[in-house]
Amino acid sequence: MTTTLNRPQRSARKAKGHGHMRRAEILKAAEQIFVAEGYEGATIRKIADEVGVSSTCLYMHFRDKDQILLEIVTAAMEELSELSSQVVGLPLSPVERVRMLLRGYINFALRNPNAYRLVFCSPMSEGQPEKTAAMHELGSECSERFLGVVREIAAEGRLKAGDPQAVHHALWAACHGLATLMIMKPSLDWAPAEEMSNLLVDGLLFGLITD
Confirm if 206 and 180 have CB atoms less than 8 A apart. no
Burial of residue 126 (CB within 10 Å: 0-12, 13-18, 19+) is: exposed
Look at residue 37 in the predicted model and tell me its pLDDT: 86
Give the domain ranges of the chain. 66-208
pLDDT (tens place) for every residue of the chain, 211 residues total: 444 444 444 444 444 434 444 688 899 899 989 888 888 888 999 999 998 888 888 888 888 888 888 888 888 888 899 999 999 999 999 999 999 999 999 999 999 998 888 888 876 555 567 667 767 777 888 899 999 999 999 999 999 988 999 999 999 999 999 999 999 999 999 999 999 999 999 999 999 999 7
- The alpha helices in 156-192, defined as continuous H runs, are 164-184
Q: Which amino acid, one-letter code, is at 14?
A: K
DSSP conformation class of 187: T
Confirm if 177 and 107 have CB atoms less than 8 A apart. no
CA Rg value for the chain? 20
Q: Which amino acid, one-letter code, is at 101?
A: L
Look at residue 140 in the predicted model and tell me its pLDDT: 86
List residues bridging with 159 in a β-sheet.
209
209 phi/psi in degrees, rounded to 5? -125, 135
Q: How far apart are CA 70 and CA 196, in angstroms?
A: 31
Q: How far apart are CA 62 and CA 123, in angstroms?
A: 23
Q: How far apart are CA 70 and CA 62, in angstroms?
A: 11
Sign of the C-alpha dihedral computed for residues 151, 155, 156 and 162 taken in this order: positive
Q: Which CATH superfamily is domain 66-208 in?
A: Tetracycline Repressor, domain 2 (1.10.357.10)
The pTM of the full predicted model, rounded to 2 decimals, is 0.81
Q: How far apart are CA 51 and CA 81, in angstroms?
A: 29
List residues bridging with 209 in a β-sheet.
159
